[in-house]
């Protein structure tokens, strides 16, 4: 025979709380098991099935049933245990937390665990524990796009987004920018190739073989790239590249998206563009060059080509850049798709 059943008489609030504890991913497993015992007992199941469903022995189950009957939901939680009193007082913890949120007076930008330990007289391990409890990470910095001060932000943004989403007929939308100061870095000793158990290895010392500047135009709705490497990135080189794009697409209305770099707004560039009926320049709002889709491609290019690369001459660097662009157009070129579906940032 089974043990006589004890009425639990769960309220609706207790039922909801127990189910929430059981289903929540972050609930401690011991509390999940104790909650499961009460829910199974409430369904009138015999102890054998209760133990099978909760993974707790009958002795343990009786203990938590008794605790629940005495203290209800609070009875399922662990009672405070006796132990050595806290060595670090609450006021000391608050002072460490407050200090970590300030700027050090030694000229550095952020606190380290070692510096905080020296300043507070605590051990580095204790400082780490206090920071962890307060969810503080002095070594990390998060960035966000600040609000643009441009009074014409809405108009400029709407014009650019309109070109992305609904371009005019017979129009070609080009996102244009330059990546300057690309260094042709060589290493003072030959690179050691990757092999099982060892990553690719390079010397920390390097030799410079000069720099180049990459002018690039992304055809927004096709995804292909037009690129040119130049020695400098003044208005003269930019105007020459703009003329090249204009000649390359003779029967298209060109809408060119640019940021506010001084070379893009030079009077010679503006004068030449004003004489071209097929050409319209669209400038991103101040501090909003992220609206220019070519920045996405530059990020891909930097990871694929520039990171940890070795070149023995500037010509080798330029040849690799142009080869990468050709292969990208042949194999990978496609329009970028927006995937952000969250809420817009608050003003």
Can you give the pLDDT at residue 64? 79
Domain annotation covers residue 259: yes
Residues 111 and 208 in one domain: no
Phi, psi of 106 (to 5 degrees): -95, 10
Binning the chain into helix, strand and coil, the percentages to the nearest 5 are 45, 15, 40
- What's the pTM value of the predicted model, to 2 decimals? 0.68
Domain annotation covers residue 234: yes
What are 114-173's pLDDT values in tens digits? 999 999 989 999 999 999 988 999 888 888 777 888 899 999 999 999 999 999 998 999
Distance between CA atoms of residues 138 and 97, nearest Å: 11
Domain annotation covers residue 46: yes
Domain annotation covers residue 312: yes
Residue 345 has pLDDT above 60, yes or no: no
Q: How confident is the model at residue 1 (pLDDT cuts 50, 70, 90)?
A: very low
Residues 282 and 178 in one domain: yes
Residues 180 and 287 in one domain: yes
Domain annotation covers residue 82: no
Residue 2 has pLDDT above 70, yes or no: no
Is 336 or 25 the better-scoring residue by pLDDT? 336
Lowest mean pLDDT among 42-51, 216-225, 331-340: 42-51
Residues 19 and 113 in one domain: no
Six-digit token string for 36: 């499961």
Domain annotation covers residue 222: yes
Share of the chain above pLDDT 90, in %: 52
Can you give the pLDDT at residue 246? 96
Give every CB contact of residue 111 below 8 A, 6+ residues apart in sequence: 99, 100, 102, 104, 138
Q: What is the mean pLDDT of the chain?
A: 87
Residues 124 and 159 in one domain: no
User: Is the torsion defined by CA of 227, 228, 229, 234 positive or negative?
Assistant: negative
Residues 31 and 122 in one domain: no
Decide: residue 297, CB within 10 A, 0-12 exposed, 13-18 middle, 19+ buried.
buried
Q: What angle (nearest 5°) sits at the alpha carbon of residue 218, between those of residues 310 and 266?
A: 95
**176 near 187, Cβ under 8 Å?**
no
Residues 120 and 218 in one domain: no
Q: Which residues pair with 198 in a beta bridge?
A: 195
Residues 102 and 47 in one domain: no
Share of the chain above pLDDT 70, in %: 94
Residues 166 and 270 in one domain: yes
Give the domain range for residue 48.
Answer: 12-76
What total number of domains does the chain contain? 3
Residues 233 and 300 in one domain: yes
What are 180-207's pLDDT values in tens digits? 999 999 888 888 888 888 888 888 888 9
Residue 13 has pLDDT above 70, yes or no: yes
Domain annotation covers residue 25: yes
Quickly list DSSP for 251-319. TSEEEEEE---GGGG-HHHHHHHHT-TTEEEEEPPTT-GGGSTHHHHHHHHIIIIITT---SSHHHHHH
Domain annotation covers residue 144: no
Residues 163 and 254 in one domain: yes
Over range 7-21, report the average pLDDT: 81
Lowest mean pLDDT among 63-72, 167-176, 213-222, 240-249: 63-72
Distance between CA atoms of residues 171 and 252, nearest Å: 6
Residues 97 and 67 in one domain: no
């Amino acid at each position: 025979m089974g043990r006589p059943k004890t009425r639990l008489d769960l309220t609706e609030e207790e039922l909801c709380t127990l189910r929430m504890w059981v289903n929540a991913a972050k609930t401690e497993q011991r509390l999940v098991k104790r909650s499961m015992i009460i829910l199974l007992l409430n369904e009138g199941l015999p102890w054998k099935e209760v133990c099978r469903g909760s993974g707790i022995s009958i002795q343990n189950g009786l203990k938590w049933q008794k605790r629940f009957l005495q203290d209800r939901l609070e009875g399922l939680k662990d009672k405070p245990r006796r132990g050595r009193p806290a060595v670090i007082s609450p006021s000391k913890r608050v002072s460490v937390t407050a200090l970590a949120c300030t700027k050090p007076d030694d000229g550095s930008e952020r606190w380290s665990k070692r510096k905080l330990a020296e300043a507070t007289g605590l051990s580095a391990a204790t400082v780490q524990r206090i920071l962890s409890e307060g969810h503080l990470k002095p070594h990390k910095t998060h960035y966000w796009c600040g609000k643009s001060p441009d009074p014409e932000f809405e108009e400029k943004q709407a014009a650019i987004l309109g070109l992305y989403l609904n371009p005019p007929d017979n129009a070609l939308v080009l996102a244009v920018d330059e990546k300057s100061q690309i260094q042709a870095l060589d290493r003072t000793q030959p690179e050691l190739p990757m092999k099982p158990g060892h990553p690719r290895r390079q010397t920390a010392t390097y030799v410079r073989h000069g720099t180049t500047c990459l002018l690039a135009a992304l055809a927004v709705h096709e995804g292909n790239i037009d690129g040119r490497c130049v020695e400098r990135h003044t208005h003269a080189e930019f105007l020459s590249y703009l003329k090249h794009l204009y000649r390359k697409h003779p029967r298209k209305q060109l809408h060119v998206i640019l940021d506010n770099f001084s070379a893009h707004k030079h009077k010679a560039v503006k004068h030449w563009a004003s004489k071209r009926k097929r050409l319209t320049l669209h400038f991103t709002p101040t501090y909003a060059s992220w609206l220019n889709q070519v920045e996405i491609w530059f990020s891909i290019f930097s990871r694929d080509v520039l990171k940890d690369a070795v070149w023995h001459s500037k010509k080798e660097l330029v040849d690799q850049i142009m080869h990468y662009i050709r292969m990208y157009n042949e194999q990978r070129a496609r329009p970028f798709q927006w995937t952000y579906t969250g809420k817009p940032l608050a003003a």
